[in-house]
Amino acid sequence: MEFKVEATLNNSEARAGVITTDHGKVPTPIFMPVGTAGSVKGVHQRELRDDISAKIILGNTYHLYLRPGLDIISSAGGLHKFMGWERPILTDSGGFQVFSLAACRKLSDEGAKFQSHIDGSRHMFTPENVVDTQRIIGSDIMMALDECTPGTADFAYARKSLDLTRRWLDRGWKRFNETSPLYGHSQAFFPIVQGCVYPELRREAALHVASLDAPGNAIGGLAVGEPAEKMYEMIEVVNDILPQEKPRYLMGVGTPANILEAIDRGVDMMDCVMPTRNGRNGMLFTFNGIMNMKNRKWADDFSPLDPEGSTWVDKTYSKAYLRHLFVSGELLAMQIASIHNLGFYLQLVTEARRHIVAGDFKNWKEEMIIKVTRRL
């Protein structure tokens, strides 16, 4: 994997770049649709590729490991072939999913023991076997196993958690360098900076991560209960240390405003389930604000979903029609909303990149945050 910074700014840490993988180029800043189990919910691969123009998507090691399982993925020749996706894929290590299973998991130096949410069976993730699993999945970018510390954790817990994550990281990095890709394309390994909301822990973690000289680096453990301003502060602390010549991936974030603020602070890659999850529940993000499509006010509004939108759904369907589909319980409602929201997120980061190159990102960002956060 290679990364090239193509444009920077004097009044912002935002930058435009290009990540090059064996499965294609990814212009940054970029938003990655979440395809947890090898599928972006409600969205066909053709729509992802042609209508939304997704350059890279995210899969999840935890879910793919449990179902369909490594034997099936290996027999298919890796996740790209299994799901019919020819562009880049990034896989999360499953650390966040294990974090969410707090009631049925146990952490130790060895790794993370957990029970499957599907059938209650018991499993163990170690820093080593998570690398091996992602080799079998065949993602272009794989993540280190970490503990995702709750945003409300006290310093003592955050300290202990970071020490565990660091020991896991060193073992995972060693395993990655001892193994090779299985399907003829290269794979990159991203370590993850943890440290909760404590600047001294974040600095310590960022210094260690930077010392590994990995192809890219990730920032984890944010948007998990801490205030947004604290999240932005931690991004600034970390990005002041992480090397500028490597892509920076902010994991699991977030709202359109979060994304613009993260880009302003030097983040290159982001992912979140919000566009599809909120879309399935009737929330649409647009360049004029946020709409609840189940509201009565849209019942006779025959204007396009988003006049500034870029996908075919924005031009084809009216607010009244989509509202009708939601109140009627039609599955098409969730599909249209998911495609629309993903298209909006991809267009938002594309516009951000354009304004970075043009040199007026800062002013554009301030105006855009006012628009995308208001309720219509």
Q: What is the pLDDT of residue 150?
A: 86
Q: What is the pLDDT of residue 102?
A: 65
CA-nearest of 376, 349, 362 to 54 is 349
DSSP 49: I
Integer Rg of the chain from CA: 20
For residues 136 and 264, give the distance between their C-alpha atoms in angstroms, rounded to a whole number: 36
pLDDT per position as a tens digit, 357-373: 999 999 999 999 999 99
DSSP 134: H
- Locate 82 and state its tokens: 């299994």
110 within 8 A of 124, measured Cβ to Cβ: yes
Q: What is the pLDDT of residue 100?
A: 72
For residues 168 and 144, give the distance between their C-alpha atoms in angstroms, rounded to a whole number: 8
182 within 8 A of 134, measured Cβ to Cβ: no
261: amino acid identity, one letter: E
DSSP 48: I
For residues 179 and 189, give the distance between their C-alpha atoms in angstroms, rounded to a whole number: 12
| The one catalytic residue among 92, 140, 268, 306 | 92
Find tokens 């973690």 and name the residue: 205
Q: Is 92 noted as a catalytic residue in this protein? A: yes
- Locate 126 and state its tokens: 């170690």
pLDDT per position as a tens digit, 66-119: 999 999 999 999 999 999 999 999 999 987 777 677 667 889 999 999 999 899
For residues 19 and 190, give the distance between their C-alpha atoms in angstroms, rounded to a whole number: 13
285 within 8 A of 305, measured Cβ to Cβ: no
CA atoms within 13 A on the CB side of 206: 22
Q: What is the pLDDT of residue 196?
A: 96
Environment class of 301 (CB within 10 Å of its CB; exposed 0-12, middle 13-18, buried 19+): middle
- Locate 178 and state its tokens: 């001892």
For residues 100 and 176, give the distance between their C-alpha atoms in angstroms, rounded to a whole number: 26
For residues 222 and 294, give the distance between their C-alpha atoms in angstroms, rounded to a whole number: 31
| The one catalytic residue among 146, 268, 271, 306 | 271
172 within 8 A of 143, measured Cβ to Cβ: no
Q: Is 271 noted as a catalytic residue in this protein? A: yes
The torsion angles phi and psi of 163, rounded to 5 degrees, stand at -60, -40
Q: What is the pLDDT of residue 195?
A: 97
- Locate 25 and state its tokens: 């180029």
User: How many CB atoms within 10 Å of residue 104?
Assistant: 13
Look at strands 112-115 and 122-125 and give their pairing. antiparallel
CA-nearest of 220, 235, 229 to 97 is 220
Q: What is the pLDDT of residue 104?
A: 75
Q: Which residues of the chain have pLDDT under 50?
A: none
Q: What is the pLDDT of residue 96?
A: 77
Q: Using omega within 30 degrees of 0 as the cis cutoff, is the peptide bond preceding 77 cis? A: no
CA-nearest of 62, 63, 64 to 74 is 64
- Locate 219 and state its tokens: 């920032």
Query: Residue 63 to residues 51, 131, 209, 231: CA-CA distances in angstroms?
Result: 27, 15, 26, 27
Q: What is the pLDDT of residue 105?
A: 81
For residues 239 and 248, give the distance between their C-alpha atoms in angstroms, rounded to a whole number: 8
Q: What is the pLDDT of residue 312?
A: 92
3-state secondary structure of 69: coil
